[in-house]
Structure 1
Amino acid sequence: MKRICTVIAATLVLNTTLALTQPEQASAANTNTADLQLNASSAILMEATTGQILYEFNADQALPPASMAKMMTEYLVMDAVNSGKIQLSDMVNTTEAASDAIGSGQLLALNEQATVDNMFAAMSIYSSNDATIALAEHLAGSEEAFAKLMNEKAKEFGLSPEANFINSTGLSRADMGKHAPKEVQGETMLSARDAAIIARNIITKHKNTLDYTKIPTRKFREKDPEPMVNWNWMLADNKSNKYLAKYAYEGLDGLKTGHTREAKYCFTGTAERNGLRLISVVMGTPREESRFLETRKLLDYGFNNFEAKTVLTAKSEIDSLKAVNIKKGVELQVSVVTETGLTLIAKKGTPADQFQVSAAALEEDKLIAPIEKGQVVGKAKVSFGGQDYSVNLIATEAVEKAGWFRLFFRAIKDFFVDTISGSK
């Protein structure tokens, strides 16, 4: 999967509450005006919390992702851990398919056992194919069954129609040899946008994965003479490594490299600075260091040119809709405020009038008393960069249902008001 690196010595989501209504296929935010002159087949830069796209180049071209495919394996394994289906302390057996795996790793012997924690570390730090396959088989019974789970999750994430997984590692069908799948067809393919969406799901739902991906070195077995060395040269903690210090990037703690002859050199990176977390993807770079140099261009562009803008704050009024009408209530109206805040990513210096705020009440049949305090009674919409984002509007107080006597006399009043208005 990767060539053995000879130059490395052994010393080697915004904390703002959001309520966004948007598709998983993230939207652009008045961007892509820069010419970064990337030496890559495709690339994308995404803000992790909102999913906004800050830059893209051939981002929808399906390409072999190599070991970046392991991000989906990381997600599914951590999903099983965090849901309690498996434990980090569970022992995982090394099957024939795992021990036969070529490429990066080659740590495990047939029937050797290790904990889920250690296997996950080998996959996330050292891109170990054997550990990855062992985990896949532990979860699904076979790697092909696991690949089917990967493809199901791809549809759930809203990945492109071309997105396809044939195994847990990103190895080609030819490299799998006799262990190649029989029912799952084709080759593993992802676009840069697909890779960014997978990374965003990891970060937003299973952020503890970064506790592994940020580790520069770790021994697989205590008795091993040398540690596993992370293929990610840009890790922030590499700043003290004399061989990799020039690649280290402030705030970078993941996520996954990849390399095969067909894929060339790929990298999905993520870094956080001042509460802003970015996800970058480069695919098809020509050399090993190229993927990190091109990633630096992307991340520098993002951090230097964009910032988080708080458009709405939680529990605040919207000028265009401060109250909504209630039917059959003791009160005829109820005041409304935003349920949560809304923060978007915009170019630095973007004027406030670029964020168009509007609001609307729910349909009348959903605004019938009784109304509870905090009940959703409307929507606030923010239009920016050709995309709409929404936040719920909630009632600030309860509205009790009016009794029949009150409703009767209210109906009489309304009748005479309508009659007089009609006469005029």
Structure 2
Amino acid sequence: MFFKVKRICSIVAATLLLNATLVLVQSASVFAADAPVDLKLNVRSAILMEASTGQVLYEMNADEAYPPASMSKMMTEYLVMEAIKNGKLSETETVNTSPYAASVIGSGGLLAPNEQSTVDNLFAAMSIYSANDASVTLAERIAGSEEEFAKMMNAKAKEFGLSDKAHFINATGLPRADMGKFAPTEVQGETMLTARDAAIIAYNIIKDHKEVLKYTATPSRKFREKDKSPMINWNWMLEGNKDNVNFKKYAYQGLDGLKTGSTKEALYCFTGTAERNGMRLISVVMGAPKEPDRFIETRKVLDYGFNNFEFVPVLNAKQEIEKLKTVNIKKGVATEVPVVTQSELKVIAKKGTPKEQFQITAEPLADESKLVAPIEQGQVLGTAKVTYGGKEYPVNLVASEKAEKGSWFRLFFRAVKDFFVDLFSGAKKG
């Protein structure tokens, strides 16, 4: 009877604990569970993402696919920068412009057939002036043809985990009809992206190739020194335009990228990024009816982010976690070693969020082979996790001091002691 009562009490306690945990998790999802914010945007879709974590702070029709126009060049940019990083391409290398590349319609019109240009200049033309001819020239250099490059773009889309709606047919974002006889035959359909897809591409560019911002932040640049007029950046919101009489009313503090796009089908689109007080945001708006609207609506999205969210320091570096101050180890002089956080952990959260909404848990490594002495100071022995907004943020727990390996003599007598402790404990329970 005693054991039945004890078991029932245990089940009740476990149920109460589970319910309490669910309440805490639900309360931690504060901005994820809140009623959708209506920014009254005049666009087809939009999204706002924090750039270091990928945390989504706002979305509107973010999973509906639309033509992205030249915003698809972000994927072209990524693959070019990847080729440079991998040593397959050099910024100083000169590349030949094919007759096809020179003939591509739309933005650009800078290159003549068989003109030689450096990768640096071509990349600047693509990222500042959205030059289609430069984009195709780089694509042909990397993949041999634009169609093969489009296959690389689609492969990278899968690698990034983009939606199954994400699709690329060329390096430029032009619709198939505008490609005429040069339209791809093996890659079907049209270029399509959701706002979330565009944000994820931007997230990966900034994470892996942040040097892109030195190009995208440039308000104007000459393609050739002898050119009379410079290439003017299509991004009116650049902070560098704050003194430009034509664009200063659109200039936005901290904004240094990333990519505009417009076609008849796509209307006006813009993926923006801005950094203030150590927090970088990525915004996407798709399908604005007029060119100024894409910047006016982007301002609303970014203002919402900077006005309502901040990084909250939840854990300090070398901090002891109350729920796991030590980790048990084997074959050591000591049987446990104290652990602390390896680094600080900041979480993006709504301003004024109570500390109680950041739930902290900790556990030792599952791989017990790494919990055997000797243990070096700074060795990873566990993980602490902060849960907030329905997302987990991990940080390593490391040994705060060394733990020497015990001698065979010590380990032998410890084993004997443990044997008798277990024996007498079992006898008492029986």
- TM-score if structure 1 supplies the norm length? 0.91
Q: Does residue 177 of structure 2 align to residue 174 of structure 1? A: yes
Aligned counterpart, 1:239: 242
Aligned counterpart, 2:381: 377
8 A Cα contact 1:29 1:52, kept in partner? no
Aligned with 1:405 (options 390, 409, 421): 409
Q: Deviations over 1:56-75 (max 9, x none)?
A: 00111111110000001111
Aligned with 1:57 (options 45, 60, 74): 60
Q: Secondary structure at the match of 1:54?
A: strand
Q: Deviations over 1:95-136 (max 9, x none)?
A: 122112011111111101110010001001110000000011
8 A Cα contact 2:31 2:350, kept in partner? no
Aligned counterpart, 1:419: 423
**Residues 176-325 of structure 1 aligned to structure 2 (within 5 Å):** 176-325=179-328
Q: For residue 386 of structure 1, what is the amino acid of its counterpart?
A: G
8 A Cα contact 1:334 1:397, kept in partner? yes
Q: Deviations over 1:170-220 (max 9, x none)?
A: 111111112111211211111101111111111121111010111111111
Q: Deviations over 1:45-92 (max 9, x none)?
A: 011111111100011111111000000111111122233322111001
| Distance across 2 between alignment mates of 1:375 and 1:322 | 15
8 A Cα contact 1:375 1:394, kept in partner? yes
| Distance across 2 between alignment mates of 1:188 and 1:167 | 8
**Residues 355-394 of structure 1 aligned to structure 2 (within 5 Å):** 355-363=358-366, 364-394=368-398
Q: For residue 73 of structure 2, what is the amino acid of its counterpart?
A: K
The structure-2 alpha-carbon separation of the partners of 1:31 and 1:316, relative to structure 1 and needing over 3 Å to count, comes to: same
| Distance across 2 between alignment mates of 1:295 and 1:176 | 30
Higher normalized contact order (CA 8 Å, seq sep 6+, divided by chain length):
1
Q: Secondary structure at the match of 1:310?
A: strand
Q: Structure 1 segments of 4 or more deviating over 4 A? A: 27-32
- TM-score if structure 2 supplies the norm length? 0.90
Q: Does residue 341 of structure 2 align to residue 346 of structure 1? A: no
Q: For residue 104 of structure 1, what is the amino acid of its counterpart?
A: S
**Residues 323-342 of structure 1 aligned to structure 2 (within 5 Å):** 323-342=326-345
Q: Secondary structure at the match of 2:166?
A: coil
Q: Does residue 155 of structure 2 align to residue 152 of structure 1? A: yes
Aligned counterpart, 1:21: none
Aligned counterpart, 2:12: none
Superposed displacement of residue 279, structure 1: 0.5
| Distance across 2 between alignment mates of 1:182 and 1:159 | 23
| Distance across 2 between alignment mates of 1:341 and 1:161 | 36
Q: For residue 377 of structure 2, what is the amino acid of its counterpart?
A: K
Q: For residue 425 of structure 2, what is the amino acid of its counterpart?
A: S
| Distance across 1 between alignment mates of 2:320 and 2:150 | 48
| Distance across 1 between alignment mates of 2:34 and 2:90 | 43
Show structure 2 runs of 5+ residues with no match. 1-29
Superposed displacement of residue 404, structure 1: 2.5
8 A Cα contact 1:234 1:247, kept in partner? yes
| Distance across 2 between alignment mates of 1:422 and 1:109 | 88
Aligned counterpart, 1:23: none
| Distance across 1 between alignment mates of 2:303 and 2:249 | 15
8 A Cα contact 1:31 1:55, kept in partner? no
Show structure 1 runs of 5+ residues with no match. 1-26
Q: For residue 421 of structure 2, what is the amino acid of its counterpart?
A: V
Superposed displacement of residue 271, structure 1: 0.6
Q: Deviations over 1:206-249 (max 9, x none)?
A: 11101011111111122222111111111111111111111111
Q: Does residue 74 of structure 2 align to residue 71 of structure 1? A: yes
Q: Deviations over 1:130-155 (max 9, x none)?
A: 00000111111111111111111111
| Distance across 1 between alignment mates of 2:161 and 2:52 | 17
| Distance across 2 between alignment mates of 1:31 and 1:258 | 32
Highest CA radius of gyration, 1 or 2?
Answer: 2
Q: Secondary structure at the match of 1:194?
A: helix
| Distance across 1 between alignment mates of 2:236 and 2:105 | 22
| Distance across 2 between alignment mates of 1:167 and 1:224 | 29
The share of aligned pairs that are identical, in percent, is: 68
Superposed displacement of residue 365, structure 1: 4.4
Superposed displacement of residue 29, structure 1: 4.7
Superposed displacement of residue 28, structure 1: 7.0
The structure-2 alpha-carbon separation of the partners of 1:160 and 1:350, relative to structure 1 and needing over 3 Å to count, comes to: same
Q: For residue 225 of structure 1, what is the amino acid of its counterpart?
A: K
8 A Cα contact 1:379 1:391, kept in partner? yes
> Greater helix percent: which structure?
2
Q: For residue 209 of structure 2, what is the amino acid of its counterpart?
A: H
Superposed displacement of residue 31, structure 1: 5.7
Q: For residue 129 of structure 1, what is the amino acid of its counterpart?
A: N
| Distance across 2 between alignment mates of 1:416 and 1:239 | 78
| Distance across 2 between alignment mates of 1:121 and 1:418 | 72
Comparing 347-356 with 29-38, greater Cα deviation is found at: 29-38
Aligned counterpart, 1:132: 135
Q: Does residue 115 of structure 2 align to residue 112 of structure 1? A: yes
Q: For residue 217 of structure 1, what is the amino acid of its counterpart?
A: S
The structure-2 alpha-carbon separation of the partners of 1:392 and 1:29, relative to structure 1 and needing over 3 Å to count, comes to: farther
